[in-house]
Amino acid sequence: MAAEGFDLSGKNALVIGAGSSAGRAVALALAEAGARVAITSASHDKDDVSAVAETARQLETRGQKAEARTLDATAAAEVEAVVAKVMADLGGIDILVNCPDLFMAKPIEQVAESEWARILSVNLSGVFFACRAVGPRMLKQGKGRIINLASGLGERGLPNCSAYCAAKGGVVNLTRALAQEWAAQGITVNCIAPAWLEDTPGLGDPNPEANRVVRFIPMRRAGRPDEIGPLAVYLASDSAGYVTGRTVFVDGGLLAHL
């Protein structure tokens, strides 16, 4: 059962936000497990588009043809159009992974309304639009796997990160709600919540002796993006057929410590 239970051969996956380190790790892991993977950016930002192109290149070095699509995850009509195109190209979507991530750290009194709206739009509305576009199509198929990436800050707050914490907390509860809404129809909806990764903005020196954040993590190191991929494979596989509505924290024991 060990090998067969995690085999994604014959499955089609869509990874939105595959330019982030976590999104790239998930896309590569799904492909390695046998899935055919379509990838998109989460915005039209030049750096994001370039990062997704690099993910496509890495997929191709592993023998999988991958088209890097550009997508603004905050534009509902655009999400719907890209999903329809991927469905037509692949013949269906069995696995949806939502990885949009935009971080901001500011005291709340300094957060402009436009910044608040942008953080919620990218991190929460983008996930909602993708689930709304793909979910009904999965219902017609009678099965599906949805995996949303949130953050440990969606469970615990952090000073000067109110907008980001609110958005990621919304992803956690959106996951719980959709899991209940679609469970009887064979669709599982789960969430992966990383804490500090090696490339997290503002992390600074990864040496625990020089970094209070890293020193506070029980494992005394930041996480690696490739430590997220295997969990995504499990949640996307037939082995996780009875797992839904769960948020799994990949945090080196951080929340247990808190």
Supply the residues annotated as catalytic: 164
Rounded CA Rg of the chain = 17
Query: What residues contact 126, with CB distance under 8 A and at least 6 apart?
Result: 16, 17, 42, 73, 74, 79, 98, 100
175 vs 154: CA distance, rounded Å: 12
Q: Are the CB atoms for 175 and 169 separated by under 8 Å?
A: no
Q: Which amino acid is at 220?
A: R
Query: What residues contact 221, with CB distance under 8 A and at least 6 apart?
Result: 206, 208, 214, 252
Task: Please name which of 184, 85, 103 lies closest in space to residue 144, comparing C-alpha atoms.
Answer: 184
69 vs 16: CA distance, rounded Å: 9
207 vs 222: CA distance, rounded Å: 9
Other beta carbons less than 10 A from residue 118's beta carbon: 16
Helix (H) or strand (E) holding 188: strand 187-194
What are the structure tokens assigned to 245, written together?
A: 């509505």
